[in-house]
Amino acid sequence: MLILMRSGATPEQIEAACQAVRDLGLTPHPIPGAMRTAIGITGNRGALEPSLFTRLDGVADAVPVSQPYKLVSREVKPEDTIIEVGPARLGGGSLCVMAGPCSVETRDQVLTTAAYVKAGGATMLRGGAFKPRTSPYEFQGLREEGLELLAEAREATGLPIITEVKDTESLALVARYADVLQVGARNMQNFSLLERLGDLDKPVMLKRGLASTVKEWLMAAEYIVSRGNRRVILCERGIRTFETATRNTLDLGIVPLLRAQTHLPIVVDPSHGTGYAAGVTPMARAAVATGVDGIMIEVHPDPCKALSDGPQALTFAMFDALMVDVRAIAAVMKQRV
Ligand code: PEP
Ligand code: MN
C-alpha cells in the first residue's frame, strides 16, 4: 500500500502516518517527491484497509500497489531516481559512460586505459578485481591489489570507479575502494549479498541475471532498496536464449518497459550483451537511442592479450570512434554526456 500525503502536509503529519504504519508492525518508507511525500508500506502479507490511513490528518489517499515490487516501482515513486557519483550522474537527462578493462591486470594496463577513456569522454572507470569466472582455472582477478590499482587510477584521472563484489566475505574490502558496487549477473539472486548491500550507503549496480525475468530482477532490486539503500542502478547485459552465435542476447526491448515500471536508472552493457567487439559499437549506439542513463563498455590496450573477455574488448581507437557516435545520438536524445 502507498499513503499519499497532501502537498502541504507537515513533517509532524508525515511522522504520524509513519507511526500508524509502525503500530501495525509494518515498515514505512517515506519518499519525498516534487509535489508531495508518499509513504510506501512493506511487511504486510495481505491487503490493508485504506481507511486505516485516510482518516489521519494530512493524508490525501491510500492506494494499493499492484506490482509485487513496491519501492522500486513507478507507482510508488513517479520521479526518476538520480544518482550522483562524484562527477558522474545517472538519471535526470545525463548519459554516464562507464568504460575500462574487464579485469584489472597490471598497473600500466589500468592507468593507461583510465587516462584514455577519460580523454575520450568516459565518466566512470570500470575494472574487475574479483572475477567470477566460469572455470576455476581461469584468471580470478588481482583481488586487493586490483582494487589498489583502481584507486590509483581514480586518483590520477578523477574518474569514480565501479567494480564487482563477488561475495559477502569480500564486501567490506571492496566497499572500501569502490564508488559503485557492481553485482554480477551470476549473483543477481544472491539474497544474502543483496541484503548486505541494502545496509550500505553506497550505490549498487545490479546486473540482470543470465536467465532472469524483469520481475525477478526488480524483486532483487527491491531486496536492496527495502533495507534502506535507495541508490540502485539496473544494468541489462544480455540474457541466455537459444541463440549461441552471440555470447548473450542483448534485450534492448526491455528498456522502455523498465522505464515505465521503475524509477531506477538504467544502464546497458553491450560488451557482455554481444561478446564480440564488432557487435559492441552498433549495440551501444542502439542502447543510447533507447534513452538509457548509461552504457558500460569494455576497453583494453591490447585485446588479444587480455586475461578475460578479450574478444569483446574495444581498442582505444574503437572507443574514440564510438564516443563520436554516442555524443551525436545522445544529443538527439537530449542527454548530456
Ligand atoms: C563484468 O562486468 O565483467 C561481468 C563479469 O559481467 P556480468 O556479470 O554481466 O557477466
Ligand atoms: Mn567482462
CATH 3.30.70.1140 residue ranges of the chain are 2-63
| Span 245-266, pLDDT tens digits | 999 999 999 999 999 999 999 9
Kindly report, as residue ranges, where domains of CATH 3.20.20.70 are found in the chain.
83-332
pLDDT at 185 over 90: yes
The neighbouring-strand residues paired with 62 are 3
From CA 19, how far away is CA 294, in angstroms rounded? 38
Residue 207: per-residue pLDDT? 98
> Which ranges constitute the DSSP H helices of the chain?
11-23, 51-54, 107-120, 144-157, 171-177, 191-198, 214-225, 254-261, 270-274, 277-289, 316-332
Query: Which residue in this structure is represented by grid cell 591486470?
Result: 105
| Tens-digit pLDDT profile for residues 154-180 | 999 999 999 999 999 999 999 999 999
Say how many Å lie between the CA of residue 278 and the centre of ligand 2.
16
The domain 2-63 is placed in CATH, from the list 3.40.50.740, 3.30.70.1140, 1.10.1760.20, 2.60.40.1180, at 3.30.70.1140
Report d(CA 119, CA 122) in Å as an integer.
Answer: 7
Nearest CA to ligand 1 atom 8: 184
φ, ψ (nearest 5 deg) of residue 124:
-150, 145
Give the number of the atom of ligand 1 that is nearest the alpha carbon of residue 185.
8
Angle at which helices 277-289 and 316-332 cross, to 10°? 20
* Sign of the C-alpha dihedral computed for residues 86, 91, 4 and 49 taken in this order: negative
Closest ligand (CA of 275):
2
- Residues having CB closer than 6 A to ligand 1 are 102, 128, 184-186, 207, 237, 272
Mean pLDDT for the stretch of residues 43-70: 92
pTM: 0.95
Q: How far apart, in Å, are the Cα atoms of 151 and each of 148, 225, 261?
A: 5, 27, 35
Domain spanning 83-332, CATH architecture: Alpha-Beta Barrel (3.20)
Ligand 2: centre distance to CA 312 (Å): 8
Contact between 256 and 236 under an 8 Å Cβ cutoff? The reply is: no
**SS (HEC) of 55-70:** CCCCEEEEECCCCCCC
What confidence tens digit (pLDDT) does each residue in 293-315 have?
999 999 999 999 999 999 999 99
